[in-house]
């Protein structure tokens, strides 16, 4: 192994993790010139929740963002996160929509497609991977890392082999919850690199304060690339700081070769940008190791807290926390990531609040148990499945095999409001907010949600701090 | 190597690094019961700047704090930081004061004395180490880590050998600025462990975001103990989070054996405590890798910014930053830590503001060049030395060899205001603020500096400027 390659997630996962995906394109463009000079392997800048947030909150056309970023970053690979057959939405789309979306994104300049499925059911990756390959772009097959009685290194290696057979260009280990430990990383990375002759990339969230150490053990065991976030948007539920890894590897066989002083400039820029979005910051931004005890991702806990608060039942949080592992077991231990984290969490809340487990079963749990999201990693609770699904057939095939082509139908539905294929895809992803966006655009009433002024506004304008001083 | 041992610095270095050493005893005691159950190797809880801060700002008797902590933590080693012959002050004290201080602290329950000298001149450690051994306590000889043309692994190993010969019970690598990188740590730890048969402890600040990785490489190469801070006071200029390391090593040969859930409770407690001291937080609390480029500790930069601001010369910061390495070179590359960071920084400011280098030479620089702080690590600038010292003799001996016993003199000076030996020692450490404290205590007018109400309660002032005046 030599030179470690870096993907900076500042334009996607960092702000998705820290400020609910609210960073605006106008705050990305001014620094693109510097970002483009760093020499990153790629910049993750699109996909995940950004598409939704653009339409719903920022009233930006996500395709316009992509086009502007492409223009401003001519020398750097652009990377996006794709939820397999769910693309950037929350349901399985028909193959024609998946293909159209991937091909359009590729045409608009996307270089690297990181594709995952919440259940690690690789059948749900196939269409997206094939479309990416067809477009001549980089398909990164992704393994969602989790810990459960049915997950082990052998299973993850098997999946890595299958991703390689599917002609993925590289493999990603996606540790969305910060569950990896340094020596678990060592074992996993070594095993995958032994089994599969593809570049391996590690995406590990800093939630529990372990990701830096995981990076190091990954790198020492042959991992080729890691995801980091520029320091002013690093740490906590985001990722380890880019500058620290670059500094830490300088002069070693792993040297990233990136320019630390340039990165520091970029860090300062984003430090200022972050202030603009203070209203979206969580109160708690530090290290939280609870996931290492209870395996429940931090983001899921805060969502549940909000759900419970709305029902005036915050006091039952502990019961919900105890119920989550039981629901997860009943569902065959899915990794907890969009949408499974929501499916498990909501059912756990219902089980606690109704006072009787599964007295009410959500529609999503029913679909899940029927096989509508794909195959569960372990055995599901059969009794529960019968209760939920009743006489209906269990879906054994790839769920999207049951979906008829839908793109032309969607195109007709949205009609003249769509001025382009991209517009049709926005409507396809999010029928309600996509339509609303297109309607407001037509009416000239698009209006981004307002930003609150900086705290302590009023006369006190803090003196320039030592940290704004440019040192070079 | 097996079981890694942990020193938590929450009661000393964490708050010294983050809130200018302002944590009050009343916020330590309620959690001591839990802290005492964790099974830490030790709790750093005294020394460094805490003594000064108690007398100066909190109007607490530091000896009373020690006695209360001792009582509340019956099962855990208490640890303090001692600046060698400077003890907890800023000048060299006579041997009788050093001995009396160490013996009294031992008598009052201190178990572990971490003893360092800013120049790594081990002659300045001898009296403190001998007194610690005489008291039957643990003497930890400390190597201040720095990077310069005259510092290398061989030199640090030589110092470790000398500390072992001095009968230290263990060795500490003190990386006060966050300069260590993972593979520099590997080399250094391996070399010291190969050379010296003593437990080795790593103290590395998280400033540059590298300390977690340094810990891991230290541990893998035979380091026995590391310093961490409970997560809600970890990161940035403080230390890596305790919980993360505990979680990261669980189930491995290095397992700390500490109870993660108990630590999480403690973390939550201190999370709430921290809010009380918001007025002392720096605006910037994240990762700052600039030290990896310019070797200038973060705390030193903020002090200089304050000095320049007072002189309306903040715009000359860049010149000062460029002057610092030159002054450091002239002084034979001292590690930058109290008091050398202040000595170098102040002279650099003068050199820039007066427009002519060394037109004015501070008294401290003069004493330094004369040998009054001990032996410089490298050769000093001889021309500058002659200019500064003139006809006076160069001090070749251990500086304290020139100091006559002073304790009885100090005792007479402070007279009846001192009600105990401890009071005399407070006066000895800090003649001005020690006396003021004793006078106010006699008059019943001791009054801790006020704390601002939590933010959101109206207009807010910026943090005070003495932040980080003392670098450990
Ligand atoms: Co992520
Ligand atoms: Co320190």
Residue pointed to by tokens 């800090």 = B430
- Alpha carbons A257 and A247: distance in angstroms, whole number: 10
Instruction: Give per-residue pLDDT as tens, A277-324.
Output: 999 998 888 899 999 999 988 778 888 888 899 899 989 999 999 999
Q: How far is the CA of B298 from the centre of ligand 2 (A)?
A: 12
Tell me the residue range of the domain where B351 lies: 296-401
Give A82's strand partners: A115
* Range list of β-strands (E), B225-370: 225-228
**Nearest ligand to residue A201 Cα:** 1
Q: Examine the domain organization and report whether A120 and A20 are in the same domain.
A: yes
Question: What element of type H or E holds A45?
Answer: strand A42-47
Longest Cα separation, chain B: 65
Q: Where are the alpha helices (DSSP H) in B317-406?
A: 317-330, 340-353, 363-370, 382-389
In a domain, B472, yes or no: no
Residue from A2, A127, A138, A181 nearest A400 by CA: A127
| Percentage helix, strand, coil for chain B under 3-state DSSP, each rounded to 5 | 50, 10, 40
How far does Cα B64 stand from its chain's mean position? Answer: 21
Q: From first to last of its 472 residues, what are the pLDDT tens digits of chain B? A: 469 999 999 999 999 999 999 999 999 999 999 999 999 999 999 999 999 999 999 999 999 999 999 999 999 999 999 999 999 998 999 999 999 999 999 999 999 999 999 999 999 999 999 999 999 999 999 999 999 999 999 999 999 999 999 999 999 999 999 999 999 999 999 999 999 999 999 999 999 999 999 999 999 999 999 999 999 999 999 999 999 999 999 999 999 999 999 999 999 999 999 999 999 998 888 899 999 999 988 778 888 888 899 889 989 999 999 999 999 999 999 999 989 999 999 999 999 999 999 999 999 999 999 999 999 999 999 999 999 999 899 999 999 999 999 999 999 999 999 999 999 999 999 999 999 999 999 999 999 999 999 876 544 444 333 333 333 3
Distance from CA of A273 to the nearest CA of B (A): 14
Distance from CA of A64 to the nearest CA of B (A): 32
- Alpha carbons B174 and B113: distance in angstroms, whole number: 14
Residue from A281, A321, A290 nearest A305 by CA: A321
Distance from CA of A340 to the nearest CA of B (A): 25
pLDDT tier at A257, thresholds 50, 70, 90: very high
Segment A179-197 shows an average pLDDT of: 98
Nearest to A212 among B213, B249, B305 (CB): B213
What's the domain count of chain A? 2
Q: Examine the domain organization and report whether A69 and A134 are in the same domain.
A: yes
Q: What is the pLDDT of residue B301?
A: 83
Q: What is the pLDDT of residue A305?
A: 85
Q: Examine the domain organization and report whether B274 and B300 are in the same domain.
A: no
> How does strand A200-204 pair with strand A170-175?
parallel
Q: How many CB atoms lie within 10 A of CB A355?
A: 7
- Using CB atoms within 10 Å of the CB of residue B284, give its burial: 0 to 12 exposed, 13 to 18 middle, 19+ buried: middle
Residue from A149, A147, A226 nearest A181 by CA: A147
CB contact under 8 A, B216 and A182: yes
**End-of-domain residue from the set B384, B401, B418:** B401
Q: How far is the CA of B103 from the centre of ligand 1 (A)?
A: 54
Q: Examine the domain organization and report whether A243 and A155 are in the same domain.
A: yes
Instruction: Please report residues of B whose CB lies closer than 8 A to that of A252.
Output: 183
B140, B170 in Cβ contact below 8 A?
yes
A292 in reach of chain B (CB within 8 A): yes
Token duo for residue A451:
């930003």
- Alpha carbons B389 and B396: distance in angstroms, whole number: 14
Residues 260-289 of A with CB under 8 A from B: 260-261, 263-264, 271, 284, 286-289
Instruction: Please report residues of B whose CB lies closer than 8 A to that of A284.
Output: 271
pLDDT tier at A177, thresholds 50, 70, 90: very high
**Nearest ligand to residue A44 Cα:** 1
Token duo for residue B430:
């800090």
CB contact under 8 A, B461 and A466: no
Buried-exposed string B378-399: b where 16+ CB fall within 10 A, e elsewhere:
eebbeebbeebbeeeeebeebb
Q: Examine the domain organization and report whether A313 and A247 are in the same domain.
A: no
Instruction: Give per-residue pLDDT as tens, A91-121.
Output: 999 999 999 999 999 999 999 999 999 999 9
ipTM > 0.85?
Answer: yes
User: Which of B213, B261, B285, B295 to probe by mutation at the A interface, max A CB count within 10 Å?
Assistant: B213
Which phi and psi (to 5°) does residue B77 adopt? -65, 135
In a domain, B415, yes or no: no
Q: Examine the domain organization and report whether B266 and B318 are in the same domain.
A: no
Q: Examine the domain organization and report whether B127 and B251 are in the same domain.
A: yes
Distance from CA of A110 to the nearest CA of B (A): 31
Nearest chain B residue (CA) to A216: B213
In a domain, A433, yes or no: no
Q: Examine the domain organization and report whether A249 and A343 are in the same domain.
A: no
Q: What is the pLDDT of residue A319?
A: 94
User: Which of A179, A207, A209, A270 to probe by mutation at the B interface, max B CB count within 10 Å?
Assistant: A209
User: Which of A216, A249, A464 to probe by mutation at the B interface, max B CB count within 10 Å?
Assistant: A216
Q: How far is the CA of B352 from the centre of ligand 1 (A)?
A: 47
**Nearest ligand to residue B9 Cα:** 2
A377, A120 in Cβ contact below 8 A?
yes
DSSP codes of every residue in A96-159 = HHHHHHHHHHHHTT--EEEE--TT--GGGTHHHHHHHHHTT-EEEEEEE---STT--HHHHHHH
In a domain, B55, yes or no: yes
Q: What is the pLDDT of residue A456?
A: 63
**Nearest ligand to residue B174 Cα:** 2
Q: Examine the domain organization and report whether A268 and A318 are in the same domain.
A: no
Q: What is the pLDDT of residue B269?
A: 98
**End-of-domain residue from the set B354, B381, B401:** B401
pLDDT tier at A457, thresholds 50, 70, 90: low
In a domain, A287, yes or no: no
Residue A356 pLDDT exceeds 70 = yes
A215 in reach of chain B (CB within 8 A): yes
A116, A129 in Cβ contact below 8 A?
no
Which three-class secondary structure state does DSSP give residue A237? Answer: coil
**End-of-domain residue from the set A280, A306, A334:** A280
Q: What is the pLDDT of residue B283?
A: 81
Residue A464 pLDDT exceeds 50 = no
In a domain, B73, yes or no: yes
CB contact under 8 A, B243 and A183: no
Residue from A87, A146, A74, A152 nearest A114 by CA: A87
Q: Examine the domain organization and report whether B89 and B11 are in the same domain.
A: yes
Give B5's strand partners: B225
Token duo for residue A330:
């009943």
Nearby residues of A343 by Cβ (< 8 Å), 6 or more positions away? A331, A334, A362, A364, A365, A368
Supply the CATH number for residue B184's domain: 3.20.20.70
CA angle (B141 as vertex; B137, B142 as ends), nearest 5: 135
* Range list of β-strands (E), B52-99: 77-82
Supply the CATH number for residue A376's domain: 1.10.472.90
Q: Examine the domain organization and report whether A307 and A271 are in the same domain.
A: no
Q: Examine the domain organization and report whether B271 and B364 are in the same domain.
A: no
Q: How far is the CA of B176 from the centre of ligand 2 (A)?
A: 5
Segment A13-41 shows an average pLDDT of: 97
CB contact under 8 A, B216 and A213: yes
In a domain, A15, yes or no: yes
Residue from B466, B463, B447 nearest B455 by CA: B463
pLDDT tier at A2, thresholds 50, 70, 90: low
In a domain, A303, yes or no: yes
Q: How far is the CA of A45 from the centre of ligand 1 (A)?
A: 12
Q: How far apart are the first and last CA of chain A?
A: 33
Instruction: Give per-residue pLDDT as tens, A388-445.
Output: 999 899 999 999 999 999 999 999 999 999 999 999 999 999 999 999 999 999 999 9
Token duo for residue A384:
């529960």
């Amino acid at each position: 192994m030599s030179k470690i390659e870096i993907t900076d997630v500042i334009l996607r996962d960092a702000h998705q993790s820290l400020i609910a995906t609210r960073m605006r394109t106008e705050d990305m463009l001014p620094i693109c010139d510097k970002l483009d000079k760093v020499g990153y392997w790629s910049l993750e800048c699109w996909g995940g929740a950004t598409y939704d947030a653009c339409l719903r909150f920022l009233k930006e056309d996500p395709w316009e963002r992509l086009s502007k970023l492409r223009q401003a970053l001519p020398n750097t690979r652009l990377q996006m996160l794709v939820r397999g057959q769910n693309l950037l939405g929350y349901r399985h789309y028909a193959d024609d929509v998946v293909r159209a979306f991937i091909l359009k994104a590729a045409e608009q300049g996307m270089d690297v497609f990181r594709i995952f499925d919440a259940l690690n059911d690789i059948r749900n990756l196939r269409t997206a991977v094939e479309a990416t390959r067809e477009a001549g772009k980089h398909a990164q097959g992704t393994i969602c890392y989790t810990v459960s009685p049915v997950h082990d290194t052998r299973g993850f290696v098997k999946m890595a082999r299958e991703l390689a057979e599917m002609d993925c260009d590289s493999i990603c280990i996606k540790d969305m919850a910060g569950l990896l430990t340094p020596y678990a990383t060592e074992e996993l990375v070594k095993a995958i690199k032994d089994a599969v002759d593809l570049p391996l990339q590690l995406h590990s969230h800093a939630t529990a304060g372990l990701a830096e150490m995981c990076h190091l053990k990954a790198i020492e065991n042959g991992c080729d690339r890691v995801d980091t976030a520029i320091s002013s948007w690093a740490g906590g539920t985001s990722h380890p700081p880019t500058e620290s890894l670059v500094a830490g590897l300088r002069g070693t066989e792993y040297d990233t070769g990136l320019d630390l002083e340039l990165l520091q400039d970029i860090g300062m820029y984003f430090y200022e940008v972050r202030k603009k979005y203070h209203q979206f910051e969580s109160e708690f931004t530090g290290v939280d190791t609870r996931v290492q005890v209870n395996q429940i991702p931090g983001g899921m806990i805060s969502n549940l807290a909000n759900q419970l608060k709305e029902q005036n039942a915050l006091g039952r949080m502990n019961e919900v926390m105890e119920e989550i592992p039981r629901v997860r077991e009943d569902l065959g231990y899915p990794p907890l990531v969009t949408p499974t984290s929501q499916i498990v969490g909501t059912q756990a809340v219902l089980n606690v609040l109704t006072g009787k487990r599964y007295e009410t079963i959500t529609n999503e749990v029913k679909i899940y148990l029927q096989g509508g999201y794909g195959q569960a990693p372990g055995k599901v609770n059969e009794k529960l499945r019968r209760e939920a699904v009743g006489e209906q057939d269990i879906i054994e095939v790839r769920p999207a095999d049951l979906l008829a082509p839908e793109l032309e139908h969607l195109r007709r539905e949205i009609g003249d409001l769509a001025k382009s294929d991209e517009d049709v895809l926005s409507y396809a992803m999010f029928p309600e907010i996509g339509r609303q966006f297109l309607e407001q655009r037509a009416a000239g009433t698009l209006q981004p949600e307002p930003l609150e002024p900086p705290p302590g506004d009023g006369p006190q304008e803090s003196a320039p701090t030592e940290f704004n001083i440019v040192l070079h």
